[in-house]
Chains A and B, each alone.
Chain A
Amino acid sequence: MLSELVHLTVTGLLIASLLALGAVGLSLTFGVARFANVAHPDFMMLGAYTTFAFNALLGLGFWPSAALGIAAALVVGVPVARIAYDTLPVTGTVQLLVISIGVSFILRHVVLFAFGSGLLQFAVPLQRPYVWGPVRLTAYQILTLVVAGLLVLGVHLLLSRTKLGRILRAMADNPVLCEIAGADVGRARLAMWTIAVGLAATGGVLFGLNLVIQPNMGWDLVIPIFAAAILGGIGNPYGAMAGALVIGVGQEWATLVIPSMYKEAIAFSAMALCLMFRPRGLWGG
């Protein structure tokens, strides 16, 4: 029983790392741009596919492919976000919501058209795990945990120690005041999208490395990622990571009592309960 719990916890931590890379960026943009970008997890998918293109189609090694892939995802994703969300004339959040649905449709189905619906893998050799008692992790999996942790730490440092971070936090609190105070809101938004898309793309590459690549890999995570961001309190990256841990590990532990096919219901229920009873999140201010 204990070893089963350990197994589930390890799996949960891995899933949580991936969710965190999506949730932290989402929390940032949701807090600053103030709308739910349903297409955000699709930036993860974008990162996975661009890396796949360099790796499996052009034959480059995994590391160069990942670097180029994330760069390519930024080159595509940031302008898409800027155009769709920052420059189109809209009068309200509903329009942004609908636009984000449109962006998601476009991203997913362009990828589907180009790569097909099949499950894809990076061309990397399979690894044997390191074993510490009941804990079993391969080198890539350890890397995933470490990278996720470092990136989230990086975001925290950025928000708390840099001028950009101060501007972003101020925008989340009161955007109009920011503009009046002369802050370069436009550049801050550009930076915000770059961070969000970059985190997501990295998450997508790690997802593909550990699991599988398919066109709906991002869309399938919409509910868990939103749940994590909401649980953590919108605009709070550490909260988003904590939320990701709760959702990731919680879903795995839940399989002890509910059939594993209903795992996805956990994230939805957590999100619904949180919104009904504590909408600012467990760690939100």
Chain B
Amino acid sequence: MIDYVVAIATIVGVQALLTLGLNFHYGLTGLVNFGHVAFYALGAYSSALLTLAGVPFLPAMAAGVLLAVAASLLVGAATLRLREDYFAILTLGFSELLRLLLINVREVTRGTLGIPGIPRPLQDLLGGSYHVFYMVLVLAALAVAYALCEVLARSPLGRTLRAIRDDDQAAMALGKDVLAFRLTSLGWGASLAAVAGSLWAHYVTYVVPDQFTPEVTFYTWMAMIIGGAGSMGGAVWGTAILVAVLEGTRFVKDVVPMIDEPRLAALRQVAIGLGLIVLTVYTRRLGGLRRRAPRAVAAAGTS
């Protein structure tokens, strides 16, 4: 029982970091980032490759963060001026392009072979209760990230980001460099995702491009919507709820043995799809996806 709880807590911690990052992008700044998994992947692969080359854990993670931030700035500079659906499609395309590179630049990433045997920090020192130590590490990182996010959200930076989210024309009229603020938000969220990626890589000790599909991005969207986009605390407890609920489905296999793992995984994704639709529509009052200021928005049926 204990091991189970420790494992869930660790995974909630890693996923919540992803959700916090996305919440910064969308909840706070209104950026429809459909490519979040790319930053996660950059953090994971950098950390894995560098630690295997002998670089210590923290510097390796830092390098992953730098890489993810650089990528986010590059993508942002090219696409942030576009309207939100184009931005969404481009970020989605970007994360898939990155996955294509991870699969094909085999000299660096070992492609579909993946990178096994990723060293765990302080593994030799801690032996038996390592999993508890790792959970504490992850939760500590989460606590720090959450605190920083709250501080930033309440700061002048946060206020400006919200203003840009709600009406970027007005913000521009007030002299704010909208692009620069958006890039800052993009970079910060990307660095959180990269930290999550690094923590993930050292936890499972194996990374492969298959782990970094858009499914991860939309899982994160779901977690964010549950807790209410814009709320940092919501990002954390929304993640906890999502993980807890989906974990219940793991045990279906024990009760209904004719469903094999791939089928079960498919059902889980159907549930996520349904959840996304239902929550998107019905959590307006719970703080789910922000109401956008009308900006030549189509009359999508009733409104």
The chain A residues found within 8 Å of chain B, CB to CB, are 33-36, 38, 84-99, 101-106, 108-110, 112-113, 116-117, 175-176, 179, 185, 189, 222-223, 226, 230, 259, 261-262, 264-265, 268, 271-272, 275-276, 279
Q: Are the C-beta atoms of B299 and A176 separated by less than 8 Å?
A: yes
Which single member of A94, A105, A189 contacts B32 (CB below 8 Å)?
A: A94
| Extra contacts besides A90-B281, A94-B32, A97-B84 (14): CB < 8 Å | A36-B86, A38-B89, A90-B300, A91-B292, A93-B84, A93-B292, A99-B281, A101-B276, A102-B277, A105-B272, A109-B270, A261-B104, A268-B97, A275-B79
What is the bound-complex CA distance between A226 and B88, given in angstroms?
12
Is residue B274 within 8 Å, beta carbon to beta carbon, of the partner chain?
yes
Most buried by B among A90, A105, A106, A261: A105
Query: Chain B: residues with CB nearer than 8 A to chain A?
Result: 32, 34, 78-79, 82, 84-86, 88-90, 92-94, 96-97, 100, 103-104, 218, 221, 225, 262-263, 266-267, 269-270, 272-277, 280-281, 284, 289, 291-292, 294, 297-303
What are 5 of the A-B contact pairs (CB < 8 Å)? A96-B300, A222-B89, A230-B86, A264-B97, A271-B90
**CA distance in complex: A259, B32 (Å):** 32
A19 and B227 alpha carbons, distance in the complex (Å): 38
Chain A binding surface SS class:
helix
- Closest approach, in angstroms, between the C-beta of B280 and any C-beta of chain A? 5
- Measured in the bound complex, the distance between the Cα atoms of B78 and A275 in whole Å is 9
Contact A87 B90 (CB under 8 A): no
* A contact residues around B301 at 8 Å (CB): 85-88, 90, 189
Please state if A223 and B79 are interface contacts (CB–CB under 8 Å): no
Given the contacts A91-B291, A97-B85, A109-B270, A86 and B300 also touching, CB distance less than 8 Å: yes
B298 A93 Cβ-Cβ under 8 A = yes
- Cβ of A240 to closest chain B Cβ, rounded Å: 15
B78 touches A99 (CB 8 A): no
Contacts of B274 in A (CB 8 A): 102, 106
